[in-house]
Chain A
């Protein structure tokens, strides 16, 4: 569904390369999570998929077509995107935010209204109550639900997510993560998500791609990574959620009578 072949990105200003020789194929209906520390190039990689950033070299193929041969605007409308800072339009109502991509795709307004209601219902925001609200009147969790609904509105096959749950409180994050995972499964969405939270990656991903300093270190399922880490850095990354889980278990056991 998405194929990156020897993709590199370097910036003229600094001369530094953000991404180097990145090769990866993401298959249809797969949930791929890109992890790594801040500045490792994971967000740049994500943005190259819908040409928000253009690669310096290499090839990216989405749904069988080279992205550089596709009109960037059509490409972006066909791919859902959930932004790091949520990025809702503060001057539009919830319904207008959710319906913006269908509107750009020139759907008829009854079809847009129907789609908006459907998605809002799906995301647990009763349309009658929330349609006319402004983003500023919503909680962080509700805003991100709107963000996800907006990304899905144009019926994309592919969804790109840039640390979508990063700014939420732990309880809300947990609820949204589980809801989103089941949504992804039931619709067979292809998802590429960026996060620096290893626990989140382990919980959601079909496969995890670990990046460091612009390079792809290893890609595999959580079991594969846990069993055969091919780099010390991966071991370090995986240790933390493990240690947390272990100590949590210890606390729970100690409490048992």
Chain B
């Protein structure tokens, strides 16, 4: 078997288990909330419209947006925001089917129940619910399939799910990972669909034994699926609080650096785990709250996005001011710089550069009305882009947003003419791109910096384990490591090991 597949399959029990726990707990909670609500609104007609409209509106919010919205609302990342978003998402089919199942019953049977002397509660439990059961179960079935699919989007808000394979696979040019994640999610959805379908048929035929069998199978699936998680909890119970959580944003360099920090921490005898594919601001908030212990950010990003500064002081001054601001404002420690810089830089194909004789942004400016620019999700919303446009008078004919990995494919395919590349990306050289100089200093320096949460900075053994990496990762090392993953199809752990080796080889001469 291929090494990438083995690696993905090894991670699968854990992600599958988390995915199952997240989906099923959201589904069960959805049922517990919607069931009484549906019974109430089937009796009080005035509530029907507002309740079903609310559920429909929730349903129209894209899954990813709903999940991301929960983070600022709850002020935290991880299981809870994902769980709540999925509960909201599960509501419509359950509510809708339970209400229409109850309202659509044969009136003469309801009257018979009343006429023989059943109380309203007896009517509900002895007659209405059993008769509406097939329609109600059909709603739960639809809801279950939706939730399993949407739960893959829980990864960017910090909840482990099968989306971990998909998101990291998309960012690191690893189609095997994407396929493993998709296939596992589809298999889970199909299995749940079939089992609940079995329950639905049992309800239709009023076959209690068959219904019981379906219920037991569902329970077995749940229990078997949760075994990896339960065993992990058992093992972690005692040392949970000491496990260091390393965060990462959504691109290759972040994944491999998180893995590298994990290696360093484990080497120092500490327990460590990664929380990857997190949105940029979500990750910083998680660090402030201590849900993530450490991660690597870039000085210019923090300078522009968090401090909202547009001036560009010299590199050392910027780091010092940033460091003081982080400490005073958020009690976050900037432990130091890693040694390399990953700047946003506008890049164009080499042939355009030579033909039009463009080597810097000032020379690019007059051509921009004829050019299309592509960038990642963040850049066009950042203050640096505003300052860049102002200082050079850039007026592109079209602005397009891409997934970072697809942005490079887009310029290669000539779908765009300019991209906002990352200077450490191996694809700049490989795709014959030229990085344009910034003579007016519109872009701040983007030194990679190691940030520690307030709690983590008080742990001396953690600081001691990570301090040796400061200043040891060169531009060249990180570019090669990125290239290993993005262009040579190597895995994240392989690239992390490469960085570790490079750091160790530099350590001897530098250390006192």
Instruction: Tell me the A residues contacting B by CB distance below 8 Å.
Output: 50, 52, 73-78, 81, 83-85, 87-91, 100-101, 104, 134, 150-151
Chain B residues 100-151 with CB under 8 Å of chain A are 108-109, 111-119, 122, 126-127, 130-131
B206 at the interface (CB under 8 A from A): yes
Check B109–A104 contact: CB distance below 8 A: no
Q: How large is the interface on B (under 10, 10 to 19, 20 to 34, 35 or more residues)?
A: 10 to 19
A191→B464 CA distance, assembly (Å): 94
Q: Residue of A at shortest CB range from B114?
A: A52
16 new A-B pairs (CB below 8 Å) besides A83-B115, A84-B108, A104-B122? A50-B115, A52-B115, A73-B119, A76-B115, A83-B108, A87-B109, A87-B111, A89-B126, A89-B127, A90-B109, A91-B130, A101-B116, A104-B116, A104-B118, A134-B206, A150-B116
Q: Residue of B at shortest CB range from A83?
A: B112
Check B112–A87 contact: CB distance below 8 A: yes
Contacts of A91 in B (CB 8 A): 127, 130-131, 206
17 residue pairs of the A-B complex, CB under 8 angstroms, read A50-B115, A52-B114, A73-B117, A74-B117, A77-B117, A81-B112, A81-B116, A83-B111, A84-B108, A88-B112, A89-B112, A89-B113, A91-B206, A100-B116, A100-B126, A104-B122, A151-B116
Contacts of A101 in B (CB 8 A): 116-117
Contacts of A78 in B (CB 8 A): 117
CB contact between A76 and one of B108, B114, B126 (< 8 Å): that residue: B114
A73→B119 CA distance, assembly (Å): 6
- Among B109, B114, B115, B131, chain A packs the most CB atoms within 10 A around the CB of B115
Check A76–B111 contact: CB distance below 8 A: no
Check B111–A104 contact: CB distance below 8 A: no
Q: Residue of A at shortest CB range from B108?
A: A85
Contacts of A150 in B (CB 8 A): 116
- Shortest 6 CB-CB contacts between residues of A and residues of B: A87-B112, A77-B117, A76-B117, A85-B108, A81-B115, A91-B130
A78→B115 CA distance, assembly (Å): 11
Q: Known contacts A83-B111, A87-B109; is A76 also within 8 Å of B131 by CB?
A: no
Distance (whole angstroms) from the CB of A246 to the closest CB of chain B? 38
Q: Known contacts A90-B131, A91-B130, A104-B122; is A76 also within 8 Å of B116 by CB?
A: yes
- Among A77, A101, A104, A150, chain B packs the most CB atoms within 10 A around the CB of A104
CB contact between A89 and one of B109, B114, B119 (< 8 Å): that residue: B109
A4→B113 CA distance, assembly (Å): 25
Q: Known contacts A104-B122, A134-B206; is A87 also within 8 Å of B117 by CB?
A: no
Q: Residue of B at shortest CB range from A105?
A: B117
Distance (whole angstroms) from the CB of A12 to the closest CB of chain B? 16
Contacts of B119 in A (CB 8 A): 73
A75→B117 CA distance, assembly (Å): 7
Contacts of A104 in B (CB 8 A): 116-118, 122
Distance (whole angstroms) from the CB of B501 to the closest CB of chain A? 70
A150→B115 CA distance, assembly (Å): 12
Contacts of A77 in B (CB 8 A): 116-117
Distance (whole angstroms) from the CB of A88 to the closest CB of chain B? 8
